[in-house]
Structure 1
Amino acid sequence: MPASPSTARAINDRVALQLLQQEGPLTAGQLKTRTGLSRPSVADLVERLQRSGLIQIVGESGAERRGPNARLYGIVADRAHLAALDIRTQSVSLIVADLLGTTLAEASMPIDGDVGTEPTVERVAALLERTVREGGAHRLHSVCVGMPGLIDPSTGELRNTTGLPRWHRQLVAALQERLPARIVLENETNLAGVAEQRAGAGRGHDTFVFLWLGDGVGAALFLDGRLRRGLSGGAGEIGFLPVPGTGGLPSATDCGGGFHSLGGATAVFALAEEQGIDARGILGITASEARGAAAAALVTEAIAAGRDGFLDALALRLALAAAAVVSIVDPGQLVLGGEMGLAGGMELALRVESQLAGLIPLPTQVRPGELGGTAVLRGALLTARDVAQEDLFGPGG
């Protein structure tokens, strides 16, 4: 059944808006070429989108034709403002941006675990409100919050996960009460995977596995172009994956004994010490204090010093977890993300690829992520933009 005129107009409008979002300002002639619409249809479309306040004239382009310059149309960047938060157990980072993704303001803050739940929630909410004001984001539309833990796909709420501070579970509700915006919660690894899919090493791959290597470990599964969360939101929780070499087994409430005990930052610190690297001397911290950035520094040091023993041992650990996922999903591509993935680069990725090839018969290309620890914020910003576009541009197909 053919679409009604109003439905066809809505589809055409969204296509044009997406082109302007992705490619930047375009003339009416360029929109005609890219959409395949007739000149009158494009003229109506442009007038309609201008009236709605979604696009505006941003300049002129006269290089492609004789006569008067052609008007360039672009998205009205301040039609909606966005915010993205990366919530860790010991810190918060956030970005405020416009609808085109241009950063207007950013901030970060350490979190003292002894402060208490309500004061911590208040500090984080106040930091976001202050940053929104500093960025002049008077049309805050969408806020995406990324944090560790299981996010229930049916409710969008953080499940009662052992090991996470209480303020994590109260933050979203507090933000929703205080801000005139839609608040979206998403798992941090999923957000990092989204960023790598759209703007990093996953570009051009509909199916791949993203392996987060930071303070802890996690995975994001992309099958046929879609992020797969699982029934309870736990797809990719590989920190609980039983693997050889941990000396124990994980439990439903503790990932110790699972892959976390081989690939987490603390475990990588201990591995470096076992391999003769003076991790304490290099970093000035103990294993219990190690975070993703510290583990990344050790990987960087090992590569620079030619510490093949450490790099091969680490690659084997990563390959053990990757083999379990790859043997089920067969993605063809594995992206090593987070701080360690970025620090290891191709040197670590190719070692993991070699180890993986010796464990399973499924050909899998292993590549380093391109965004490192910034991927969570990038993914949160992209997700907030998707929410705003869904509302402003109309539902996608």
Structure 2
Amino acid sequence: MDETRGTAPGRPTAPAAARATPRTASPSTARAINDRLALQLLQNEGPLTAGELKTGTGLSRPTVADLVERLQAAGLIAVVGESGARRRGPNARLYGIVADRAHLAAVDLRTDSATIAVADLLGRVQAETAVPVGPDTDPAQAAANGVAALEKLLGAAGAARPHAVAVGAPGLVDPATGRFRGTEGVPAWHAALVTALGALPAAPVLLENEVNLAAIAEQRDGSARGRDTFVLLWLGHGTGAAVVLDGRLRRGASGGTGEIGFLPVPGTGGLPTAAGCDGGFHSLAGSAAVCELAAEYGIEAGDPGGSDPGAPPAEALVRAAVHAGEAGAAFLDALAARIALGVAAVCAVLDPGCVVLGGETGRAGGDALAERVADHLARMSPLHTEVRAGTVGGRAVLRGAVLAAMDAAQDDLFGPAG
């Protein structure tokens, strides 16, 4: 998936798009720009009257009348009600995007399951299911089960096919091909399911690294909202990072931007190699390392504080530590010191101004962990950097996939943004 095909978070608001409209655009180009401007405004602010569209876009009344007629004829908008604050009449009609004009599919691939969701054109999830995959399941059967589950969800939503499909998966995605780059460590059924989804009629599949999708979700709906430059540091079973610079998700020449687990750092007793990240940042902040550190401080998942008994071990331990008094505070401080090593390296190279802690460990640590990381970082780096806890939660990858599919479908139906 190259930079032009990939999802770029932080699309311009309607007023910014209006300022960017070229004065020398041809009539057809100008119409396309105006249509997209109005559609973006309707998406961001909900149903609007023609008068509100005129105010929000800065377009003339005749131009707004023409685009409303054009978008209605295309089945993209419809009258959804009337404004009670105005007199009855044409200007009081409320126009909204026809959300069921297209349906989207989003898939979150894990080692032992696939979570699949179907959403409308505005990204509102209408149906969702989880498909378990056993360790001995044949890849072709796992792929068939996934496609069958998606088709069942589409039927429940009244859709014949998805207009776009976005898949989040661990591992590298080649920016040039949009496919997995190497399959080492990637379950064989992941590639089989992506291939099967690509065979669906007229449904382009956007394959994206899971951490990149989580960053999209945090930027649109979570703690990075309103920022066009930030880094999401993923702290879970493994470690990773997603980099958003100037509103664009950066993937790198080989799709490896953010492979922070391989970052050489002090305190690991070794160095990573091309064959594995042991000895790198992963050895300090991956889930196994977090569990070992917790044991040193006597933290147990059963400590008071409402830890989730079904949570992954590292998540449960960090969550328990937040409520475990002095022992928990000491553990969180030691963990924050480790995490700050990776954050400091990222900041020294990119100066993002904001780092969001995501993944199971980042989510469990919340503000208590983020504040400690910020304190350690301030002592190591002269660059001012906010450290925030992720707020989208455990569904960040699936939410990011919904948003990526929504962007792809809207670009197809509405015309490219920006």
Residues 293 and 135 (structure 1), Cα distance of their counterparts in 2 relative to 1, 3 Å cut: farther
Q: CA deviation at 1:293?
A: 3.7
2:24 corresponds to 1:2: yes
Name 1:299's counterpart in structure 2: 318
Matched residue type, 2:390: G
Alignment partner of 2:341 out of 320, 334, 343: 320
Deviation at 1:161, TM superposition (A): 3.8
Q: Is the 8 A contact 1:144 1:185 kept in 2?
A: yes
Cα drift, residue 342 of structure 1: 2.1
TM-score, with structure 2 as normaliser: 0.89
Q: Check whether the contact 1:162–1:254 (CA below 8 A) recurs between aligned residues.
A: no
Distance 2:79 2:255 in 1: 43
- Residues 235, 362 of structure 2: 8 Å contact kept: yes
Q: CA deviation at 1:352?
A: 0.2
Cα-to-partner distance string for 1:292-311 (whole Å, 9 max, x where unaligned): 74322211110111211210
The verdict on how the C-alpha distance between 1:179 and 1:343 changes in structure 2, with shifts beyond 3 A counting, is farther
Correspondence 1:225 to 2:244: no
Between 291-300 and 95-104, the greater mean CA deviation after superposition = 291-300
| CA distance in 2 between partners of 1:134 and 1:180 (Å) | 20
Count of residues in Structure 1 that have an aligned counterpart in Structure 2: 389
Residue of structure 1 in register with 2:208 after alignment: 186
Please give the per-residue CA displacement for 1:165-195, whole angstroms capped at 9, x wherever unaligned. Answer: 1222222111111354111100000000011
Q: 1:136 to 1:71 in 2, by over 3 A?
A: same
1:267/1:40 CA distance change after superposition, 3 Å: same
Letter of the aligned partner of 1:272 in structure 2?
A
Q: Letter of the aligned partner of 1:389 in structure 2?
A: Q
User: Aligned-pair distance for 1:99?
Assistant: 0.4
**Is the CA contact 1:340–1:372 (under 8 Å) kept in the aligned structure 2?**
no
Aligned to 1:235, which of 257, 260, 267?
Answer: 257
AA in 2 matched with 1:80:
A
- 1:26 match: secondary structure: coil
- Displacement of 1:212: 1.0
Q: What TM-score, normalized by structure 1, do the two folds share?
A: 0.94
* 1:21 Cα deviation after fit: 1.1
Q: Distance in 2 between matches of 1:27 and 1:332?
A: 39
Aligned partner (choices 68, 74, 79) of residue 57 of structure 1: 79
Q: CA deviation at 1:282?
A: 6.5
Q: CA deviation at 1:139?
A: 4.5
Aligned to 1:72: 94
Q: 3-state DSSP class of the match of 2:144? A: helix
Alpha-carbon offset, residue 206 of structure 1: 1.6
Quote the Cα distance in structure 2 between the aligned partners of 1:332 and 1:36. Answer: 33
Cα distance in 1 for partners of 2:241, 2:161 equals 34
Q: What is the Cα deviation at residue 271 of structure 1?
A: 1.4
**Aligned partner of 1:386 among 389, 396, 407:** 407
Q: Name stretches of at least 5 consecutive residues in structure 1 with no aligned partner.
A: 284-289
Give how far 1:357 is off.
1.3
CA distance in 2, matches of 1:277, 1:105: 39
Within 2, Cα distance between the matches of 1:139 and 1:162? 32
- SS at structure 1 position matched to 2:78: strand
The alignment yields a C-alpha RMSD, in angstroms, of: 1.9
**2:351/2:383 contact within 8 Å kept:** yes
Select which of 363, 368, 374 maps to 1:342. Answer: 363
Residue in 1 aligned with 2:4? Answer: none
1:14 aligns with 2:44: no
Q: 1:151 aligns with which of 157, 165, 173?
A: 173
CA drift at 1:387: 0.3
Matched, 1:47 2:66: no
Q: Say if 2:303 and 2:324, in contact at 8 Å, map to a contact too.
A: no
Give, in whole Å, the separation in 1 of the partners of 2:148 and 2:125.
19
Q: Distance in 2 between matches of 1:396 and 1:309?
A: 48
